[in-house]
Structure formats: structure tokens, C-alpha cells
Amino acid sequence: MALLSVRGLGVRYGNDVHALEGVDLDLDAGERLAIIGESGSGKSTLARAIAGLLPPAAKVEGSISWPELGRAAQNGRDIGFVFQDPASSLDPVMTVGDQVAEVAHVNLDMAWPAARRLAVELLDRVKLPEPQATAKAYPHQLSGGQKQRVAIAAAIVAGPRLLIADEATSALDTIVQAEIVSLIRGLADEDGMALLFVSHDIALAANLADTIAVFRHGRLVETGAAEPLIAAPASHYTRALLDAYLGLDA
């Protein structure tokens, strides 16, 4: 039984912007799916639709269901979401420990002392040095990579079944990017969490994912196991996307 089942999903922001059209997609428990496609192809719209984070003005058709849960998934509980820019997803005037603790307090109804202890454990889990001391730091005292680790800690507070990372490593330099990807991969393995990983970086996506889904103009172009899809894509569009990517990389 699939964890997530998306059927005929369409999203429009205005009358003429079809950000997504007719998208069918399944995700199994523990499966790692990478979403690739050019800018504006609807990747973030898909990620947000799944997490229930679309702006109120968005018009949605089709269905997003969670067969394995048997109910709608809740962002912050069943789903953890990591955004591109850790600086803007964190509150500048609250210590990072309290920001992680607040998620446990609000989403899990945990009393503050227990929430604070859990926050320190999570900061340790995302491999921040000296988690006790780091918990008392403010975001501006941390590097970009460290801030993204805090954002990941906040996303996994409730032990979600699915972690969505939308360009979560794009703002970081290459070495830090690799560290964060390996952290995300390790956490997913340990907890059996499914991953939905959105990235411009096809090599990174191929490396991390079991399955790749290619989007163009809001439509799913093709989907399949990562390695064969990269080695021999079925669609001309994917071929062109790979060629452009390899060209850029050279």
C-alpha cells in the first residue's frame, strides 16, 4: 500500500497559470523520490500541495491521499518540510533550541521542559557540535549549513513519515551541500522516512533517490528508477535536460 497517492492533481494560481496539470504519482513508505525539471516546471507547487502549504488563492483539483495512514497527513506531524533558505525559515529573535522545542510544544503538545530536552537531542541528531550550547544560540550566530541542520531538526521533531526538502541544499556551498544530503539520507534510513527531494542538481538527485520524476510545464514527463532513467531516459525532454545539465557542469 502506498504511503502517498496523487491522482489527477492540478493547481492553478490565477486563471491562466497552470502550475500543475494531471499529475499522478505514488510514493511508498521509505522511498526516496527526486523531483527534477527546469525552473517554473511546478516542482515547488507539487511539494507544497502535498504538504498542504499552497497559498489560499491556489485552485486545486484531483486528489492527494495517504492510503497507509488512512487519513489526511498533517504538515509538522506526518510531514516535515525543509525550505530552500534556512535564514528565512528561522526566527531571528528566538534561540534555535527554542525554535525546535516550540514545534514539539505546539505540534506534539509537549510541556516546555520536555520539549527543550527533545530539542537538544535533535540538535545532536543533526550533528550540530555541542548541542546544549548550540540550543542557546541565535540563528545569526550559526553558519548557513548549521542553520539548515536546525531547520532539519525542526522538521523531524514529530518523527514524520515523509520529509520534503525543496532545494534545501541549493543555497549552500558544494561541500556543505554534500554533508546536508548525507545527513538527510542518514536520517531517512534510520527512521524509514520517505523523502521527496526537489533539486536543480541532477547528479545530487540521482545519487540520493531511488526514483526520479521529471516535470515540464506542470506535467509529469516521466518517472522511473533513478539509475536507468539517467542512463537511458525515455523522453527527449529528459535527454535534453540531462545534456544541458552536463553541459553546464563541464
Nearest to ligand ATP of 43, 125 (CB atom) = 43
Nearest to ligand ATP of 37, 131 (CB atom) = 37
State yes or no: residue 42 binds ligand ATP (CB under 6 A): yes
One DSSP character per residue, 87-154 reads HHHS-TTS-HHHHHHHHHHHHS---HHHHHHHHHHHHHHTT-SSHHHHHT--GGGS-HHHHHHHHHHH
What residue 116 binds from Mg ion, ligand ATP, none (CB within 5 to 8 A, per partner kind)?
A: none
Nearest to ligand ATP of 12, 125 (CB atom) = 12
Contact 241, 38 (CB under 8 A): yes
Distance (Å, whole) CA 152 – CA 150: 5
Grid cell at residue 91: 526566527
Closest distance of CB 219 from ligand ATP, Å: 11
The CA-CA-CA angle for residues 94, 98, 102, to 5°, reads: 110
Among 23, 34, 36, 41, binds ligand ATP (CB under 6 A): 41
Closest distance of CB 56 from ligand ATP, Å: 10
Report the residue count for the chain.
Answer: 250
33-41, 59-67, 95-103, 109-117 -> range binding ligand ATP (CB under 6 A) = 33-41
State yes or no: residue 17 binds ligand ATP (CB under 6 A): yes
State yes or no: residue 39 binds ligand ATP (CB under 6 A): yes
Distance (Å, whole) CA 214 – CA 233: 10
Q: Which residue is nearest to Mg ion (CB)?
A: 44
Q: Which residues bind ligand ATP (CB under 6 A)?
A: 13, 17, 19, 37, 39-45, 55
